[in-house]
Amino acid sequence: MDDWMPIYLALSALALVVTKVIDFIRGIADKDGKIPTWCWNVLSLVIGVAYCVLWQVDLSASLFKLIPALATTTLAGTFGYILTGLTIGAMSGFFHDVISTIQAKKNLRISQSQG
């Protein structure tokens, strides 16, 4: 369990960065909420992959070493960056949903206490 923690923390930190970038773009480009959710999901995957390819972030080898069936598998170069970027982009969607739920509950409590 302890071996997974550094990888999970690194992926989570990068996913939160992608989440906040998407939220920033959404705040500028989609104030009315008319753009479909799938577009934002695709954009988060694209930003995650772009981030990992541009900065050469590859956590796939570290992750594969923890899974016995994949311990000898390696993804060289761009393939590792792309897999890491897709993972980060997918995690950012999860974090967006969690943060949105927390914010909605907070807003509900505030409106109930005022009204």
**Mean pLDDT, residues 53-65:** 90
Instruction: Find the radius of gyration of the CA atoms of the chain.
Output: 17
- Going by the DSSP 8-state scheme, the letter that residue 68 receives in this structure is G
The confidence band for 74, taking pLDDT boundaries of 50, 70 and 90, is: confident
Model pLDDT for residues 24-40, shown as the tens digit of each residue:
999 999 989 899 989 99
How much is the pTM? 0.84
Number of H helices, E strands in the chain: 4, 0
Reported as a single tens digit per residue, the pLDDT across 96-111 is 889 989 998 998 888 8
**Whole-angstrom distance, CA of residue 64 vs CA of residue 72:** 8
Separation between Cα atoms, residue 92 and residue 41, nearest integer Å = 9
Distance CA 54, CA 14 (A): 14
Q: What is the mean pLDDT of residues 40-64?
A: 93
